[in-house]
Each structure stands twice: as C-alpha cells, then as structure tokens.
Structure 1
Amino acid sequence: MNFSQLPTTNPSEIDLSDPQYYLSRELTWLEFNARVLHEAMDDRTPLLERLKFMSIFSSNLDEFFMVRIAAISQQIEAKVSRLTPDGRTPNEQLAATSQRVQQLITQQHQHFETVLRPAAIERGIYLLDYFDLNQEQCSYLQTYFEEQIFPVLTPLAVDPGHPFPYISNLSLNLAVVIKHPDTGEELFARVKVPKVLPRFISLPKELQVVDIVRPTENSLKQNKKDKKEKKDRRQIWTGIPLEQLIAHNLESLFPGMNIQGCFTFRVTRNADISVAEDEADDLLQAIEDGLQQRRKGGSTVRIEVDSAMPEQIRRMLQEELEVNLQDIYEVDGMLGLGDLMYFLSLPAPELKDPPWNAIVPAQLRRLKATEDSGNFFNLIAQKDFLVHHPYQSFTDTVERFINCAANDSKVLAIKMTLYRTTGDSHILKALIKAAENGKQVSVLIELKARFDEQNNINLARMLEQAGIHVVYGLVGLKTHTKVVLVVRREDEKIRRYVHIGTGNYNAKTSKLYTDVGLFSCRPELGADLTDLFNYLTGYSQQRSYRKLLVSPVNTRELFDRLIQQEIEHVQSGKTGRIVAKMNALIDTKMIASLYRASQAGVSIDLIIRGMCCLRPGVPGVSENIRVISIIGRFLEHSRIYYFNNGGEANVFIGSADWMTRNLDRRVEVITPIEDPDIAKDLQEILGIMLADNRQAWDMQSDGSYIQRRPEAGAAEESTQRILMEMAAG
C-alpha cells in the first residue's frame, strides 16, 4: 500500500485500530532476518564474517519455524479464526510467511553457491564437492570413511517390515533409493548424518588442492592472471561436506544393492515447551518433563529438500511427516547452512573483522585489582556510572562488582536475577564463594528461558548444593529483568548497591551483544530492588515503586504517561521529542500511543533492531515517526528511552521491549537515569545511531527497509566503529 498517495485525513477521524496501520509480526521478523542476510551479501563485510552472517540467518530461521510457525500451525489445527492486528487469519499468515521464506532461502543459496563459495576458494578456503577431488584425495577420504564414519552410521530401511523412522528435529538426512538386483524392486532407506561427527571433513595439508578455481565475475575477466597466481595462493582449508562423503560410499552401507539415487533432506519440528505451571507441584520437574518432550520432538513444521529430489520421494516425506505442500522448501545447494559458523574458527585474521578487546572504564582503571574491594563500592558511592558492552569490559565491571561483593567483609547479602548465563561463569563462582563466606545469597533463575532451560536447571541445582537460596520465578510470568542488589554494612548503617542492565549476565554474549548497565547506590533504587526481590521470592503484592518501572506492575502505565507528557508539551507550544531504542515494537496499544503523539506533532525516532509492527510516515497517522534498524558485527540489544520533557529530559534503560509480553507477562525493570552526565552519554549514543550511514536501514511505510549509504564524498559513519573508537579513547 502506497500511503504517500493517500489524501491527508483529519487525525480525529482516523480509527487507529484499523489493521491497515499495523504490520505482521512474522513478516517484520523476516525482514529483520533479510537484513542479516544482506550482511552476508555485502562485499564490504570480510569474507568469513559473511559466512558467519549466512550461518546466523539460517539459525534464526530454524528458531522462527520451531516457535513462531509452529504456533501459527497450532492455531490453524485448532481452527482459530482470530485476526492478527494487521487483519490476517492464521492461514493467511502462514501463506504470506511461506512465500517470503521461499524468496529468502532462494536468495541465500544462490548467493552462497555462486558468490561466497567461489570467493572463499579464491582466498584459499576450498569447500569442495566430491566430484572436485582427485584420485589421491578420494583414496584418503575412502579410508577416513571406513575408519571414522562407517561405524557410526545406521541405515534404516522403509518397507512393510520396517516402518518409517522417526526423523529428529533439525537433523540432516539422506533419502536413498535402492534397487534390488534380483527382483528389480525399488526400495527406500534413510541415513541420518550424525551430529556427533564434524559437518565438514578437512583434508590433510599435503592433500590440499591448488588447481581448482570456480569461475566468478572477477576470475572470468582475468583467468590468465589467476592461473599464474593460484600456485602461490595460500591454502587455509580444504574439505567437503560430510553428507557428500557418506553419499559416495553408500555401497558400504547397502552391499549387493544398486544405488539409484541419494537426496538430502532436513526436518524442523515444533520445539516450544508447554508447561501448566499452576498445576505443577514442582516447576523444575515440570520443565524437565517438557524438555524430554522437546527432545522427542513435536509436529513437523518444515521439510527442506534437495531440489533434485524426485516427486515420489517428496510425496512420501509429506505423507509420513504429515505436512502440507507449503511446508516443503526446495533448496538448490547445501542444506543446513547454519553450520557455516565452523569457518569463523579458521586461522585467517585477514578475512575477519579486526579483533576487539573491551576497554576497562577510566574510573576503574584507577583502581588496582589488588586493592581492597571496598574501593569499588566507594567509587559507586561517589557517583553513578554507566557501562556499555562490548565496548567496555564485562569482566572488569559486572563480574568484578559481584566478585568484590563476594569477598568484601562488609557485604551482608547479594540478590540477583539470572535469565541466561553459562555453567563456567565467573559470576556463579563468585556467588558460591559468597555463600561459603557466610553471606546471604539469593538467586532467581528463570527456568523458562527458551532453549536455555536445561542449562538453567543444571545451574539451579549447582547453586542449591552450594547453599544458595534459588527461586525459579513466578507462576505465569517469566522473570526477564537484569538486576543485582548488594547489601553492605557501613559505619553501622546499611547501604544498598545496585546494577540494573539491559543484557544477560553472560560473559560470552557480552562480547557479542551491545548492552548498557547502571551502577548506583541511590537509596530509592536500592529500596525498590529490595521490594522487587520480596515480590519475586515471597508473597509480596507490591503495586508501587519509588523510581523503577516494573512489569507487569507499572511499566505500561508510566510509558503511556511519558508519551502523553510529550503531547502536552506540544499542545502548550513547546517541543515534543521521543527517541526510543529497543529490540522490538509489537504492542498495538503502545503503537497507538505513538500514533497519537505523532498526530499531535511530537517528533519521534525509533531505533528498532528487529520486529516493528508500526508503519512510519503514514499521512495523518505517523508522518512524524521515523524508524531505523542497525545491523552490524555486534547484536544491538540495549534498550534506551529518551523523552525531551520540555528540555528537562527523562532518560531510561532496562530490560523491556515494547512487546505485550514484556509489558504484561514478564517481570522487567526499567530504571530512570538521574545523573545528568550519564543521561548526556546515552543521548550521545542515540545521536550517533540516528546519524549512521553505514549500518542503519530506514524503514518504509510498507514495512520494507532501505540501507543508508554515504553521500558522494561523505565519510562512513558506522555506529559500532565510532563507539569502539570512543571507548579506546
């Protein structure tokens, strides 16, 4: 729909609940993943980083099918007729997403096969097909197959005596057609490509090739030059996909039979866990039971098939796995490109982004690691300070804070929420040390963090064994907030120190995700977090907080009030301005509030990495709203909210996006930033993002995006590069 051609309508006559003003959640997510795919196709991105983005695109799509498409399929099966905010039935949603997915995977595989694989070969990374190999290489791989692969394989026949085998979630398989030499009967068998084996089989250094260069746009033009240079080309890696090695040795699995054909396919299943929390006596046990159901797998939601697969085999898979025709996705090339992340581990720094080593903030550099831990607390007591990951070190800030608390003799208690972390985390070790030192340690671990459930169950048990009070969360609510509260006795008085952040307490993702966090000892924040932990661990029905926005208690109400405040400023002749950075904007009530603010004349800039169901630039509705998305080497994860407030800015950070689940069905914390210097720093970060002309994409009214490019003669303004340079000083 071209909104720019619509006549301007009186805002008071516009029905803001009209589906035409909202975009499909699923389609906007697919557009986000299309921007990820674009990074894999952008020749400004280093080669191995392009393979990384190709992998991320595939892994994202897997999760999208396991969760979102699975949910839509369940709605269809249950004959749900409820329309989405954009006016689609579940069947219409599924049809639209299927069409867009097919376009994207076709684009992905064409680019990988015709551009990235040849480009990798030109740079010394030979991901070959079996037919590319010479006799010596084939002989080596034949021996390798017999010794390392053959004993692991289990061919499964399909006939009246052998029912169709169970196909596990995300498994890569070979559909093998066999003819009996005596009867001439055609038979079918399935061979699973084992996940316990490496997906890519490398050749030893002495067998790496130098004589294969696939044609590319450049090499076709300078073929003579390439022939001369390829003798000197660096050989980084040479190998083939595992499934091809299996496919060319099927005679070993079916001796005496005639192999008629072999075709790859891959299955995706519903992986969401449904737990009736209010009926579960033991939530941990209920989650474990749900994980067993996931491992067994739910219904099939997608089958990816080799484009060469015959129709009769496709029909058999469709019938046996009980899917519709639109659930089968034809792939011309290698299936399971999520495994391309393997190549990022190759020793080729010239083909990767320059390494980034997070910086220790200036105020902490002045503290020696050997100094008394109390100095860290003294630093916070003097002034709030902000940390920005991965530009600033997570280890030397957040982990150090908790470690200091664990070892400080004046600390009485540590309370913390954990949504996603790792078993080898220094934070967990510090919490265990704190318990051993006699401190009161309470940790809320969210068992329902999707795809992290088993890890969190293991962590919960480990912490309980160390004597830590572990709480699993609230019935009906996920605890998504990122907070730490440290209680310390100082001069016969109690002082509370807090960390409130936007990201998980996870050292690994802190190197990959952009997040901000506030250290403070403001009494109101400490008191609010005390009340919050009583709410999380006891029977408190806390309904008000001094400073914090807490979901599901008051976040929606206070954000509505802040938006209305900007409208009132405009109506009184002042400037109305909102800048909000988040991961997703889905909630229709929040979108309607932003529409009303735009209609009143409030200038609104939204920085939304992923899903955005708001349509910007619609006459009479959202012509004062602009939306950008920033995609780069780091995943933009921080949530920052700015309201001009007539020149006396209100700035907030926290864990909540503007999604219905974050506002109404999760425990979230948003904190105001009351230190004027920190507020200015956050405004500067937002300003840098709004000026980005390298990583930023402008959202159009129809839900499409256009990537910004520097104007002729202008310098590239890349948000993440600028922030790295600023951090390095």
Structure 2
Amino acid sequence: MTTASSNRYFNRELSWLQFNTRVLEEARNKCVPLLERLRFLSISASNLDEFYMVRVAGLSTQMLAGMKTPSFDGLTPERQLDKIGKQVERLIDGQERCWRSIQTELANKKISVSCIEDLDKTAQAELRERFDTQILPLLSPLAVDPAHPFPFLSNLSLGVATSLTRLNPSGDSAFALVPVPSHLPRFLQLSAGSKRRDYVRMEDVITHFLPDLFPDFEINTTGLFRITRDSDIAIDEEAEDLVQHFEFLLKERRRGRVIRLELNENIDSDLRRFLIESFECWDEDIQETDFLGMVDLKGLIDSGRHDLLFPPFTARFPERIRDYDGNHFAAIAAKDILVHHPYEEFDVVIQFLRQAARDPDVVVIKQTLYRTSDDSPIVRALIDAAESGKAVTALVEIQARFDEASNLRFARDLERAGVQVVYGLLGFKTHAKVSLVIRREGERLQTYTHLGTGNYHALNAKIYTDLALFTADPVIGSDVGKLFNYVTSSSRPRDLQKLTLAPHGLRNALYAYIDTEIANARSGLPSGIWVKLNALVDQGVIDKLYEASQAGVPIDLVVRGICCLRPGVPGLSETIRVKSIVGRYLEHSRVVAFANGHELPSHNAKLFMSSADWMPRNLDRRIETLVPIESPTVHDQVLDQIMVANLMDTQNSWDLQPSGKYVRRKLEDDEKGFSAHQYFMDNPSLSGRGHALKTSRPAELPEQPRIKPRLVS
C-alpha cells in the first residue's frame, strides 16, 4: 500500500478507538446526570475489553505469525499495534482522570468509595464481620511453589498477588494469588444510613485481610492484576458436527493466551516480573493503571439515587394496534407499522409472536435468532407454538460472538419442544432479523412479516435505537420465505422481488443505486444520499461514495462508530459530511435513502432499512437484508422524521473532520440545541398513531439540511 492509501482511508482500529473516546467524553459531559456519566465510563471500559479480546488479539496473532500484509489504509499489523498502543494509553489516562473527577463529585453527593484505613471503628468492625461471614468462605488463596503450579485463571479475572515469607526458621519465600470471585460485588456497601452510600473496593478488603488467608506467612508486598485473553474463535469449516465443534471451541476460548495484563501502579518489581512470566505475556500489552477493570464501576449505579440518573422514560405502545383491540394481524393487514425502539415498546414484537402461538389459524412460524436475552420471551413463544402443534422453524446463529453458549442452550430447549432448529450456513453468519408468520385466512394463506435492524433482545431494545417493520405485503412475505429456504436448504434464492440479500446482491444493489445518483448529478438532476449506520469500513463502498462525491452528489452519513471514509477532502470527498451521534441511547438502526431525481427528503426517494452495516463481513460473509420502505406513512416516518432528526441533532453530535478528528457540535450562547433522542421521547411515531392521537401532531423539526460545498477542517 502507498502513502496515498492512508490519505484516502482511516484505519479501522484507530477509528474504533476514536468512537470509544466519544463514549468516554459522555462520561465527562456535565449535561449528563452523574451516575449516567459513570455508566458511560463503564461502557468505555467494557468496549476496550472486547476490543482487546478480538481485534488486538487478531493483530497480535498476525504479527507473531510474521504477517506483514497491510490493511487497505496501508498499515501493517505491527504498525497498527504500535498506533493502537499509543492511542489506548491516552484513552486509559482519560478514563482514570474521569474516574477521579466523578469520584469527587460522588462524594459531594454522599456516595463515597473509601480507603479502609479511613473508616471509623464502627465501620471497621462491620467490615471485619462481613469479611468473616460473607467473603472469607468464598475465597481460594493459591500458593505458587514447586508443589503448587501457577493456576489457570479465566478471561477478565481480577486478583490480588502477594509475596510471602514463611514464619518458621526456614524463612522460605513464596508467591501467592487470591482471585476475586466474579460473583462477589466489586464494591462492598457498608451501613452508612439512609442519606449516605459508603463503599469499599472488594480487592482492598481482600488485601486488608490477607494475613487471615496466609496465617503461616508474613506478607511482604501486594499487588493487583487483571488479565484479558484472546477470545476470538477460528471455525473449522470441515467439522462434521458444528454444534459439538462450537462446544469444544468455547472451552478452548476460556484458555486463550493472555494478550493484556493490567497491573496496579507502582507494583513491586519482583511481583511484576512474577506475573509477567507466569502469564507468559512478555511481548503483550502490559498496562499499569490506578483502577483495574473500570467496567465494574457500573456496580455503583444501582445506589438508589434516582435523582442522579436520566429521568425515567416509559416507551409507548403503537396506538393503531390498540385501535384493533390488540389484534396485531388485523392492524398489520390494514397498513404497515414501523416500531421505533426504544421509544416504542419491544413488547409489541413479543405480543405479535405470542398471538401467533395462540392463534388456531396460524400454521407456520419461522424465526431468526442472532442475539436474545436470558429467559427470552421470544424463545418461550416459539416453544409454546411448537407445543400447540404449529410448524416452527428457528434459525439459531451459534456464531454470534460472545452469545454462542446461550444460543446453544436456547437451541436445545427449542429442539426438545419440537421446533425445527437450523444453525445456518457454514461460513456465513445469519445476521438478518426476521419473523415470518403464515396464517390460514379463508381459502388462502396470508403472510405477516417482521423485519428489524436490531436483535430479538428485550433488554437491548430499551437502550438501542432500532427499527422494526411489520407488514402483510405478500411479496415481502414470499421473499422472506425464500430467505428461510436458502438457509435451511443451501439453495440460493431466485427471483426475489423486493428484498435484497447479502451476500447475494446487496453490494451490487448499493452500487447500482449510487450509480443512479451519479448519473442524475451529471445530468443536472437533483441527487443525494443519506445513510445511517453503525460502521462504514468496506473499501468498495467507500470508493463508490468518493466517485459519487466527485460527480457532485451531496452525501450525509450518520455513522455511530467506525468510519474509514475520509470526508471533506477537495477533489475526493468534498460533498460528503459524516457525523456520529452518541447520547442517552445507542444508535443501532441502519437506513439508506437515495434522492432518485428529487431533493431529499422527498416522497419519491428510494428508501431502505437494513440489518447490515457497510463492512466486508456484512456484505460478503453474512446473511443480511435490505428492506424497501414503500408504505407512504412509514416512508414519511423514516425519512422525514427519523433521518431528518438525526441529521439535525446538535446536542449529541460529533462531526468528522478530514484530518480524522471528531469535533463535538458547539452551540451558540443563545442556541438551545436539538436532541434527536429527546424529540423521539416526546413525539409519537407516524405509522403507530391511532385514533387516540389523531388530533395531535409531532413537534416541528428544524429546517431540513442541505449539504455544504465542502467541510472545513
């Protein structure tokens, strides 16, 4: 790769770290309630853990194997790891400074995380009693000596390490570990009265009482450690039994090599050397920090201080379904319905499947499951349907990263109930989110389809913004039936009329729609592209967008996370703007709109929702959907309401500069600003409006956007 590549594209991994920095900035945002800021800090730490488990682990493996093939932006694995290390160092420093600031503010709100030495005698006595009765029985002190080899510790284990000297004439020295059990709270709350919340860290408690665990030794030095293991899974495509193969791989993942070792600052040099050698991570990332495992800060959020959280929000239920006395099929048959999560309840999806399970006229239910919640009501509805005699097919994706074990468990429960369980196509993850219900109505079979941008996960639907389309369109129903037949029979779908699928057709369809905009711009017709995604990485799509920009097509991209496209570069991408929205909810819906010869927004625009981000894996190695939005009401809701609100948001928005830097939108002193999240919380959606809402209209949105000639760095 040439230097020109790095001038043309941003690096995928560094772009992701930029996104996580924006998450961290929300933890510093004084406009966000204090405990919500703590939540953002915890999320940034959790994100970084997963980044190391998968992305850094993969690059490290490539480097150890001697691979020097650069990414499409021109960086070798070694060079990427070097840049990642420097950026992570700044990120961790920012996390620590943020925690110290939040900790001070929490103390001012009478929520304190105290040092044990600072506790009064009453609190010390309580701590002693709590340790003896609730903590000590759960601990396993582990000596490391010739008779006791270094133990195996699982991924993300936190522990106390210590050097010891035996209290006998031999004076033998030894090292020992005390893993912090994962089922113990990271913060132990003391009895401080109703107006205060006093906590101590569990690792501090264990360190304080180490003499109780090693009564025959003198404690010399102590330190803290936390490990991150390689958690990626390499699938053997020739495995005869995919389920057994995955069960084996999940056990192996627990034993993945340590790719990051976190240590407390100023740890004793001998203890440091002992841990590095024992975990065999001489060449891996070793980080010395003040607070290990900041993901656990979320344990302080549930402190009963609701005044320090976002005001509660109750999601709406589509009024139009209530107009039909809760009969989903009648409401959907009358007109397509778009449900906008989390502003509208996920329960509408659950009730749709429960009604299908109970309805004697429903004969077939087909369902994809990529991620779902523990004790999933979706799985329960499918089991009830099968037990009542309906033909139920569940496409369970066991390659859903970090959900493999739970999905295997769900699959067994479904099979025991008589559900036909399919595990998808080897080499292709089924990422599409689809339900198909076939109902006998008179002499014909009627299809009812749910297509979504998010997972069938009731808890995620409270924090992720996603779209869910319900339709009785028989053509869509037929296409979805072909999708299921493709995955269950490995026969490539033919003659799809409305639905476009990856890996067969979605990439080429996007290219064709972009080409139409290029042709319109060159002919002097109105043109434009609006896109909302979680990630934009695919080089082919980026190059096509560059081509459109050079033809004069105005392009607005709302990309929450990774963006490898470089906007606003004269002669390359000067008509492209990119923004990222990070706020109360996690932006997850994927939408794409093409002007189609008219100024956006327009009733004539070609509009789609999708399960796919624009990444090579989504376009080439996953089963994904691109769904046309044709109902006029739903079209207005997605384009004129949802997309316009996202483009006009100022309170949660960051603009990507040609340099790669993200700049938070700044408001003038007299400018109130506009939050897309708040707008959707305050205003009912268009397609779900019923008789009860006929007299009210959503609030007016700001003036609709027009592309600027070019970005200014």
Shift of 1:687: 1.0
The answer on 1:261 being equivalent to 2:218 is no
Q: Which residue of 1 aligns with 2:232?
A: 272
The answer on 1:164 being equivalent to 2:150 is yes
d(CA) in 1 for partners of 2:111, 2:252: 40
Shift of 1:246: 0.7
Change in 2 beyond 3 A, CA 1:671/1:250: same
1:101-180 aligned within 5 A: 101-113=88-100, 115-180=101-166
Shift of 1:17: 7.5
Q: Which residue of 2 aligns with 1:5?
A: none
The answer on 1:306 being equivalent to 2:264 is yes
Secondary structure of residue in 1 paired with 2:53? helix
Q: Which residue of 2 aligns with 1:217?
A: none
1:318-717 aligned within 5 A: 318-324=276-282, 327-331=285-289, 333-369=290-326, 375-395=327-347, 397-647=348-598, 648-683=604-639, 684-717=641-674
Q: What amino acid does structure 1 have at the position aligned with 2:669?
A: A
Q: What amino acid does structure 2 have at the position aligned with 1:273?
A: I
d(CA) in 2 for partners of 1:173, 1:520: 52
8 Å contact 1:567–1:602 — kept in the other structure? yes
Shift of 1:426: 2.0
Shift of 1:57: 0.8
8 Å contact 1:23–1:85 — kept in the other structure? no
d(CA) in 2 for partners of 1:470, 1:326: 41
Secondary structure of residue in 2 paired with 1:646? coil
Q: Which residue of 2 aligns with 1:247?
A: 207
8 Å contact 1:98–1:326 — kept in the other structure? no
d(CA) in 2 for partners of 1:298, 1:653: 38
Q: What amino acid does structure 1 have at the position aligned with 2:546?
A: Y
8 Å contact 2:3–2:74 — kept in the other structure? no
The answer on 1:290 being equivalent to 2:249 is yes
Secondary structure of residue in 2 paired with 1:143? helix
Shift of 1:186: 4.2
Shift of 1:249: 0.8
d(CA) in 1 for partners of 2:166, 2:216: 8
User: 1:227-267, CA deviations, whole angstroms, 9 ceiling, x for partnerless residues?
Assistant: xxxxxxx7242120111011011111121422122111111
Secondary structure of residue in 1 paired with 2:234? coil
Residues 20-29 or 676-685, more deviating: 676-685
d(CA) in 2 for partners of 1:70, 1:724: 40
Q: What amino acid does structure 2 have at the position aligned with 1:688?
A: A
d(CA) in 2 for partners of 1:423, 1:188: 40
d(CA) in 1 for partners of 2:535, 2:3: 20
d(CA) in 1 for partners of 2:562, 2:38: 24
d(CA) in 1 for partners of 2:140, 2:378: 43
d(CA) in 2 for partners of 1:539, 1:595: 36
Shift of 1:145: 1.2
Q: Which residue of 1 aligns with 2:690?
A: none
Secondary structure of residue in 2 paired with 1:713? coil
TM-score (norm 2): 0.93
Shift of 1:183: 5.0
8 Å contact 1:16–1:592 — kept in the other structure? no
Q: What amino acid does structure 1 have at the position aligned with 2:245?
A: A
d(CA) in 2 for partners of 1:235, 1:121: 12
User: 1:76-109, CA deviations, whole angstroms, 9 ceiling, x for partnerless residues?
Assistant: 1111111011111111111111111111111111
Q: What amino acid does structure 1 have at the position aligned with 2:291?
A: M
Aligned length: 678
d(CA) in 2 for partners of 1:663, 1:701: 26
Secondary structure of residue in 1 paired with 2:67? coil
Secondary structure of residue in 2 paired with 1:727? coil
User: 1:663-693, CA deviations, whole angstroms, 9 ceiling, x for partnerless residues?
Assistant: 0000001100011221121112111111111
d(CA) in 2 for partners of 1:236, 1:33: 32
Shift of 1:324: 3.8
Residues 461-470 or 677-686, more deviating: 677-686
Q: Which residue of 1 aligns with 2:178?
A: 191
Shift of 1:453: 0.7
Q: What amino acid does structure 1 have at the position aligned with 2:139?
A: L
d(CA) in 2 for partners of 1:187, 1:523: 73
User: 1:138-171, CA deviations, whole angstroms, 9 ceiling, x for partnerless residues?
Assistant: 1211122122222222222223333333232101
Shift of 1:376: 2.2
d(CA) in 2 for partners of 1:536, 1:354: 44
d(CA) in 2 for partners of 1:472, 1:401: 24
d(CA) in 2 for partners of 1:100, 1:543: 47
8 Å contact 2:12–2:562 — kept in the other structure? yes
Secondary structure of residue in 1 paired with 2:597? helix
d(CA) in 2 for partners of 1:598, 1:413: 47
d(CA) in 2 for partners of 1:168, 1:644: 52
d(CA) in 2 for partners of 1:674, 1:299: 50
- Give the gaps of 5 or more residues in structure 1: 1-14, 209-233, 370-374
Q: What amino acid does structure 2 have at the position aligned with 1:649?
A: A
d(CA) in 1 for partners of 2:441, 2:636: 31
User: 1:247-303, CA deviations, whole angstroms, 9 ceiling, x for partnerless residues?
Assistant: 011111121422122111111000112221x322221111111111122x2111101
Identity, in percent, stands at: 45
Q: Which residue of 2 aligns with 1:221?
A: none
User: 1:622-664, CA deviations, whole angstroms, 9 ceiling, x for partnerless residues?
Assistant: 1111110001111100001111010220000020000000000
Q: What amino acid does structure 1 have at the position aligned with 2:346?
A: F
8 Å contact 2:223–2:271 — kept in the other structure? no
8 Å contact 1:125–1:235 — kept in the other structure? no
d(CA) in 2 for partners of 1:526, 1:309: 62
Shift of 1:543: 4.3
Residues 178-187 or 451-460, more deviating: 178-187
Q: What amino acid does structure 1 have at the position aligned with 2:366?
A: K
8 Å contact 2:221–2:268 — kept in the other structure? no
8 Å contact 2:69–2:76 — kept in the other structure? yes
8 Å contact 1:656–1:669 — kept in the other structure? yes
Secondary structure of residue in 1 paired with 2:607? strand
Q: Which residue of 2 aligns with 1:79?
A: 66
Q: What amino acid does structure 2 have at the position aligned with 1:707?
A: R
- Give the gaps of 5 or more residues in structure 2: 599-603, 686-697, 699-713
Shift of 1:379: 1.8
User: 1:166-218, CA deviations, whole angstroms, 9 ceiling, x for partnerless residues?
Assistant: 2321011112122345455543211111112121111124xx5xxxxxxxxxx
User: 1:290-336, CA deviations, whole angstroms, 9 ceiling, x for partnerless residues?
Assistant: 111122x21111011111202232233222222245610110x2211
Change in 2 beyond 3 A, CA 1:640/1:287: same
Secondary structure of residue in 2 paired with 1:633? coil
Q: Which residue of 2 aligns with 1:24?
A: 11
Q: What amino acid does structure 2 have at the position aligned with 1:244?
A: D
Change in 2 beyond 3 A, CA 1:539/1:250: closer
Residues 707-716 or 33-42, more deviating: 707-716
TM-score (norm 1): 0.91
d(CA) in 2 for partners of 1:604, 1:131: 59
Give me the CA root mean square deviation: 1.6
d(CA) in 2 for partners of 1:368, 1:123: 47
